[in-house]
Amino acid sequence: MERRILGDTGISVSELALGTMMFGSWGNPDRREASTVIGMALDAGVNLVDTADIYGEGGTEEIVGEALKGRRDDIVLATKFHGPMGPDDNHRGNSRRWIMRAVEDSLRRLGTDHIDLYQVHGVDPDTDIDETLSALSDLVRSGKVRAIGTSNFPADQLVEARWTAERRGHVHFRSEQPAYSVLSRSVEMHVLPTARRHGMGVLAWGPLSAGWLSDRDATPGEGRTVLEPQRFDPAVPANAAKARAVGRLRALAAEAGMPLTHLALGFVQAHPAVTSVIIGPRTVDQLTDLLAGAGTVLDDEVLDRIDEIVPPGSDLNPVDNHSVRRLLADTAQRRRPVPRRSVREAARR
């Protein structure tokens, strides 16, 4: 499997990385099968394993740590922090207080003394980026972390973090992990060019768009329609548009002589900013199919046809833009607070 250097870290990573979100209570609870999938991926040449503390409420990191015993030194191990790890408001976010606790918890669950790539799993509007970078820099200098990165960061936040790191003498972020697929291309506008301009590696997640670009006939996001209807309910106009696009993409893949999954992987791998594509299989069969798509190269004619189906820089469903969706969900970030007296006076009028 082809290797590429992750940004300016000097770390060599495989063109496909193994995402582990589907191992544990969020996906496949069979730990033995999860360990088998991880072992098969490593045997096939995958050397980057990506996880997060929030996956399976910590259980996924434990599965990964157990599976990597005896092979840890040959693996680039990446994990993330930011999401809630309990009801306490201080057990989440990007503060120094939480980072120092979260990293120790992850090290324990993973059964290792260092993390190769420690990633901020989202923007925290309540924490100054200077504080976050200061804490992460201390972890790098202590040897507990080798490099730091981001996930789901908008381009402006990447630039602000770079500016802050340079002026305050902090370690800078070396990678970004955005959602990127044929159906969700808005990161092509700003995030991918920004990462490339600043020498950041890109680990693209969600190349199959949560199952929309898989070859199985089951409903995409099966079991999630009730929880996330805006992303999966076929009655939503944006999802109907995705379904129509998938039909055309499936026909294009057949014409090109490959499965739709391989077309999807080849599309993401074609972008010059992308270092590695994160695949997230739940079973051995899914892994086998995805590994066969490594090295898929789409010619200009196929890529032009894809552009006709889904225009460059666009999201067929805006809700699939993960970073923007998180930011806009907080109304306090886009509405000026109204004084109570003004509200009462308006009511009297």
Q: Copy the structure tokens of residue 214.
A: 């898989």
pLDDT, tens digit only, all 349 positions of the chain: 899 999 999 999 999 999 999 999 999 999 999 999 999 999 999 999 999 999 999 999 999 999 999 999 999 999 999 999 999 999 999 999 999 999 999 999 999 999 999 999 999 999 999 999 999 999 999 999 999 999 999 999 999 999 999 999 999 999 999 999 999 999 999 999 999 999 999 999 999 999 999 976 545 655 555 557 788 888 899 999 999 999 999 999 999 999 999 999 999 999 999 999 999 999 999 999 999 999 999 999 999 999 999 999 999 998 888 766 566 666 776 788 777 665 556 556 6
* 55 included as an active-site residue: yes
Distance between CA 202 and CA 185 in Å, rounded?
A: 14
Q: Which of 11, 14, 42, 55 is catalytic?
A: 55
Distance between CA 305 and CA 248 in Å, rounded?
A: 10
Distance between CA 228 and CA 233 in Å, rounded?
A: 8
CB count within 10 Å of CB 274 equals 22
Domains and CATH numbers, the chain: 3-348 (3.20.20.100)
Given a contact cutoff of 8 angstroms between Cβ atoms, the answer to whether 55 and 24 are in contact is yes
Distance between CA 205 and CA 17 in Å, rounded?
A: 9
- Give this prediction's pTM: 0.91
CB count within 10 Å of CB 236 equals 16
pLDDT number for residue 219: 53
Backbone phi and psi for residue 247, each to the nearest 5 degrees, phi listed first: -60, -45
Length of the chain: 349
